[in-house]
């Protein structure tokens, strides 16, 4: 699902639009139908920047929370089976148990691991929820701001706001890709 599709199916009434978008954030947290960036762009386009930022922040909180709760409820054995494809998540978690806030932040800022899997794992590790949420929001914050601003300015492709937010988005994407490449080469 793309930002354009989300825009096409979002009601014009603001409160109803908010409800639909938050529902999409909840669906995003338990499926891989569309990237979170599509939601953040759509919200940035539909609402004024400050309102869009708050709505995207709330949506991100939902996207972080639902898989965390699943992981906490299901427990470590369920998650260990799920992360066999990503053993580095477990390796990092073992090294960072002394600093759960940094772990929650770091796993979000690198952006090269599936977010729902990270949230499930951290829930299964019983990282305190407030610590997990704060770290996750901070680690995802720059992406959230960049996509929100890009969504706000997407209909004005010549504006400085558009080019700055697009530049930040491209730098974040390339940086994430490079980290992912280095990550996968590390034994």
The verdict on residue 24 lying in a domain is yes
The verdict on residue 104 lying in a domain is yes
CA-based max dimension of the chain: 52
So what's the pLDDT on residue 160? Answer: 78
CB of 75 closer than 8 Å to CB of 120: no
Report the alpha-carbon distance of residue 183 to residue 122 in Å, rounded.
Answer: 20
Report the alpha-carbon distance of residue 74 to residue 80 in Å, rounded.
Answer: 11
The verdict on residue 86 lying in a domain is yes
The verdict on residue 16 lying in a domain is yes
So what's the pLDDT on residue 124? Answer: 85
So what's the pLDDT on residue 179? Answer: 66
So what's the pLDDT on residue 96? Answer: 60
The verdict on residue 161 lying in a domain is yes
The verdict on residue 187 lying in a domain is no
Residue 29 tokens, joined: 């947290």
End-to-end Cα distance, the chain? 35
The verdict on residue 145 lying in a domain is yes
pTM of this structure: 0.78
Distance (Å) of CA 49 to CA 18, 32, 33, 74, 111:
14, 26, 26, 38, 24
So what's the pLDDT on residue 166? Answer: 73
So what's the pLDDT on residue 23? Answer: 94
Kindly give the parts of the chain with pLDDT less than 50.
187
In terms of Cα–Cα distance, which of 71, 47, 72 is closest to 59? 47
What domain range is 97 assigned to?
A: 3-182
Number of domains in the chain: 1
Buried b (16+ CB within 10 A) or exposed e, 100-114: bbebbbebbbbbbbb
In terms of Cα–Cα distance, which of 118, 71, 109, 62 is closest to 90? 118
Summary count for the chain: helices (H), strands (E) = 10, 0
To 5 degrees, how large is the angle CA 172–CA 175–CA 177? Answer: 110
So what's the pLDDT on residue 115? Answer: 81
For 109-137, the pLDDT digits (tens) are 776 677 888 888 889 888 899 999 999 99
The verdict on residue 74 lying in a domain is yes
């Amino acid at each position: 699902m793309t930002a354009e599709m989300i825009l096409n199916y979002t009601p014009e009434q603001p409160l109803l639009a908010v409800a639909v978008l938050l529902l999409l954030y909840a669906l995003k947290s338990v499926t891989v139908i569309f990237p979170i960036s599509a939601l953040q762009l759509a919200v940035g386009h539909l609402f004024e920047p400050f309102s869009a930022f708050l709505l995207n922040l709330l949506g991100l909180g939902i996207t972080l929370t639902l898989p965390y709760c699943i992981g906490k409820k299901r427990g470590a054995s369920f998650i260990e089976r799920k992360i066999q494809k990503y053993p580095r998540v477990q390796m990092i978690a073992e090294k960072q148990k002394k600093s759960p806030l940094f772990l929650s932040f770091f796993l979000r800022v690198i952006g090269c691991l599936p977010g729902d899997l990270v949230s499930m794992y951290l829930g299964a590790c019983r990282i305190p929820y407030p610590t997990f949420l704060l770290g996750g929001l901070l680690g995802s914050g720059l992406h959230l701001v960049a996509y929100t601003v890009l969504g706000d300015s997407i209909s004005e492709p010549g504006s400085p706001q558009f080019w700055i937010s697009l530049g930040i988005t491209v730098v974040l994407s390339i940086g994430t890709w490079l980290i992912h490449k280095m990550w996968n080469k590390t034994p």
